[in-house]
Amino acid sequence: MSDKIVIIGGSGFVGSHTADYLSELGNEVVILDRTKAEWIRPDQSFYEIDLNDSDEIKEHLSGARFVYHFAGIADIGEAKANPKLTLSINIMGTASVLEACVDLGIERFIYASTMYVYSPYGSFYRASKQAAEIVIESYHEHYDLDYTILRYGSLYGPRSQEWNGLHKYISEVLKEKKLIYRGTGKERREYIHVQDAAQLSIDILNEQYINKAITVTGNQVLNSEELIDMIFEIAGVKKNVDFSSDQISEDHYRMTPYRYTPKKALKLTPEKYTDIGQGILEIVEEISSKSE
């Protein structure tokens, strides 16, 4: 495979790892984002863009075979605090990219969604993703633009944002030697390492995933207390955790997100995957190296 592939949001968490794997396969990778990340490779092109500038986006998408769209507001807290901005970027920004894809005859549009589309949780983040999925399906119906929607589960690993759940817990344990956890410890998640998710995000370029929604989750299901025990043990810190059940966030699901029924999705999990213990150790080392 050797194609021009555009990664919108390629400076970010999943986008940057997906971009790296695509580059390793010999593709011409073009990254469009608000800022240039330190890990962008010399063999990748970068352009700073405004998601709502259709002409600018169209210029950089010209000649591409596939377009990945990872950009947008993904922090539930930020989305809740800034609903109008979230809807503008996550819905109208997506529409700008779709317009360019239609005009240029892009072969397939790949969209980063979330497991939260199945739930009543996630505030304006979830609402924006549900709306964007409907818009994508409508562009396919009216303009025959092929797509694949990727609904990611609980991601973790290197390059994650400060607000990423696992990163936040590990950082607090390392810096404060304790953890205040807003929950009961019984919450369950299907964790998937970001590099495993990135690999699956490339595997879906296979024709069998055209015009499908794909749930991308891991093989390791843990409750929060099991995960916290692992963090303290791997970090070498004596366990000191306060389960503040009276401060449980109403924006996050606890046991499962499945309450609503959007477009049916296939489920992909990696055959080979990064063990979560190894993944936690990576984050511990990454955070520790930045504080030295």
For the chain, the structural domain boundaries read: 4-291
The pairing of strands 241-243 and 179-181 is parallel
- pLDDT, residue 114, reads 92
Alpha-carbon distance of 174 to 284, in angstroms, equals 8
Q: What is the DSSP letter of 162?
A: T
The distance from CA 28 to its chain's CA centroid, rounded to whole angstroms, is 22
Contact 34, 48 (CB under 8 A): yes
Coil, helix or strand for 263? coil
Cα 116 to Cα 34: distance, rounded to the nearest angstrom: 25
Which H or E run contains 265? Answer: strand 265-268
**Per-residue DSSP letter, 44:** S
Sort 226 into a burial class: Cβ within 10 Å, 0-12 / 13-18 / 19+.
middle
Q: Which CATH number fits domain 4-291: 3.40.50.720, 3.40.950.10, 3.30.70.2170, 3.40.50.10860?
A: 3.40.50.720
**pLDDT tens per residue, the chain (292 residues)?**
589 999 999 999 999 999 999 999 999 999 999 999 999 999 999 999 988 888 899 999 999 999 999 999 999 999 999 999 999 999 999 999 999 999 999 999 999 999 888 888 889 999 999 999 999 999 999 999 999 999 998 899 999 888 888 899 999 999 999 998 888 888 888 889 999 999 999 999 999 999 999 999 888 888 889 999 999 999 999 999 998 766 555 555 554 555 555 667 878 888 878 888 888 899 999 888 876 5
Q: How far apart are CA 169 and CA 180, in angstroms?
A: 9
Q: pTM for the full model?
A: 0.87
State how far the Cα of 60 lies from the Cα of 28, in Å rounded to an integer: 12
Is the separation of the CB atoms in 125 and 74 below 8 Å? yes
> Which residues in 115-147 are b (16+ Cβ under 10 Å) and which e?
bbbbbebbbbbbbbbbbbbebbbebbeeeebbb
Q: Could you write out the DSSP letters of every residue in 10-39?
A: TTSHHHHHHHHHHHHTT-EEEEEESS--TT
Q: In angstroms, rounded to a whole number, what is the distance separating the alpha carbons of residues 17 and 41?
A: 11
**Whether the Cβ atoms of residue 133 and residue 124 lie closer than 8 Å to each other:** no
Neighbours of 85 (CB within 10 A): 13
| SS3 (DSSP) at 286 | helix
The DSSP call for residue 90 is I
One-letter amino acid for residue 55 of the chain:
D
CA angle 60, 50, 216 (to 5 degrees): 80
Can you give the length of the chain in residues?
A: 292
